[in-house]
């Protein structure tokens, strides 16, 4: 692995660094907080432990968001959740699973990936169950209409 940087002169004497041929995990920070420091537009992580920590944090945050949404749906007792919304979330969960497999699997431990897929599978199954129950409920109520 070759390590070198190219310094680029930008307007107003600002310097930027361009990486060439560095293997690692590429990140584009969100830069949501304004400050008078250096703004980072692109970052390449090289240390495997740091890569694993960053990916685990990203994956855990997204999984927690799915679980909060699912908990909010399950907490409702009136079953008026739209099946189309649930299908969108289910498709997003399946897309999330493929992202984990394709992008993050080379950096994470196989045991962690298996446990993560188990959690994602539980979320998928619960969403599918909720979709089936809401479709049955909608069909039941449509049978009473004239």
pLDDT tens per residue, the chain (146 residues)?
445 555 555 555 555 555 566 778 888 888 777 887 777 777 888 888 999 999 999 999 988 888 888 888 777 755 566 777 888 888 888 999 999 999 898 999 999 999 999 989 988 998 888 888 877 776 665 555 55
> Rounded CA gap, 46 and 31, in Å?
21
User: What 3-state DSSP class applies to 22?
Assistant: coil
- What is the per-residue pLDDT for 10? 58
Contact (Cβ atoms closer than 8 angstroms) between residue 130 and residue 88: no
- What is the per-residue pLDDT for 56? 92
The pTM of the full predicted model, rounded to 2 decimals, is 0.68
- What is the per-residue pLDDT for 4? 52
| Percent of residues in the chain assigned helix, strand, coil, to nearest 5 | 60, 10, 30
Residue 130: count of CB within 10 angstroms of its CB: 20
Among left, alpha and beta (phi > 0; psi -120 to 50; other), residue 11 is beta
> Rounded CA gap, 61 and 68, in Å?
11
- What is the per-residue pLDDT for 18? 58
Query: How many CA within 13 A on the CB side of residue 133?
Result: 13
């Amino acid at each position: 692995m070759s390590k070198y940087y190219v310094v680029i002169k930008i307007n107003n004497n600002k310097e930027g660094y361009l990486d060439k041929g560095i293997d690692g995990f590429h990140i584009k920070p969100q830069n949501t907080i304004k400050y008078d420091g250096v703004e980072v537009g692109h970052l390449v992580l090289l240390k495997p432990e740091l890569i694993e920590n960053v990916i685990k944090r990203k994956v855990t945050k997204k999984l927690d968001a799915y679980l909060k949404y699912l908990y909010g749906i399950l907490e409702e007792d009136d079953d008026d959740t739209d099946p189309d919304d649930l299908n969108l979330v289910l498709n997003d969960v399946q897309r999330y699973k493929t992202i984990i497999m394709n992008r993050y699997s080379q950096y994470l431990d196989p045991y962690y990936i298996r446990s993560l897929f188990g959690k994602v599978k539980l979320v998928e199954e619960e969403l599918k169950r909720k979709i089936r129950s809401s479709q049955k409920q909608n069909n039941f109520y449509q049978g009473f209409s004239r």
